[in-house]
Amino acid sequence: MKKILLFSLLFVPSMNAQVREKNDFEIAPTIGYGLSAFYGTEDNYIPKEYKESSNLSSINFGVGVDIYFSNRISLRSGIYFIRMGTEGFQYENPFNGRGTYVSQKINYVTVPAHFNYHFGVQRNWNFYLGPSFGILGKATNNDIDIKYYVNEYQVGAGYGVGYKYILTDRIGIGVNLDNFIGLTYVPKNVISDDGYGNKTETQQKIKNLQGSINFKFIYLLK
């Protein structure tokens, strides 16, 4: 009985040591696998049946941080290098199968600012939600530079759920299921001139979507 009581007294403090407190600061190198696509209104001059799109897969990486305001609430941020876009075929005629393979890859440096809620007995689980801000990096269509035609900045909504396993008071590992919904258009406005001084401005209302699974190494700075 004394041994059981002694073990319990030793175990409880170790559990409490794993729960983060106010002013704690975590840093987390992260790598993951993502699937992205476009959503919205695309080119009107290409009939829908002439296109066959699929998700673009990519490897994303970055460094995340969590700034704790209490043992349940933190600000989730960091710098992440994320590739978005889509790939598929545009057919000359959907009945003869002839067409062109299209792979659009758009890279962003993304900074999230998410409200992060931690729950569970040891606060191992977390749910986060908030805005994400992106700066355009490289953008290609079939390896041809299209950066001129893509907006330089992106704003979106991010949300997800995560789990972390604490190895020591300072070190842990974790996994996140992340989601991103773009709120700003990917392409810039297109201004065309008919040669008589009449200009027409059109906007393809295309936005980014991405879902990813990410693995991280967590280190607590004090």
Tokens of 206: 């295309």
| CATH code of the domain occupying 24-37+55-86+105-185+209-221 | 2.40.160.20
- The DSSP result for 176-195, as a single string, is EEEEEEE-S-SBPPEEEE-S
State residue 16 phi and psi, 5-degree precision.
-65, -35
The pTM assigned to this predicted structure is 0.82
The reported pLDDT for the residue numbered 6 is 42
Helix (H) or strand (E) holding 208: strand 205-221
- The DSSP result for 112-153, as a single string, is E-EEEEEESTTS-EEEEEEEEEEEEEEEEETTEE-GGGB-SE
State residue 94 phi and psi, 5-degree precision.
-65, -15
Q: Mean pLDDT in each 10-residue stretch from start to end of the chain (222 residues)? A: 44 53 94 94 56 85 97 97 87 58 92 97 95 97 92 97 94 98 91 67 85 97 82
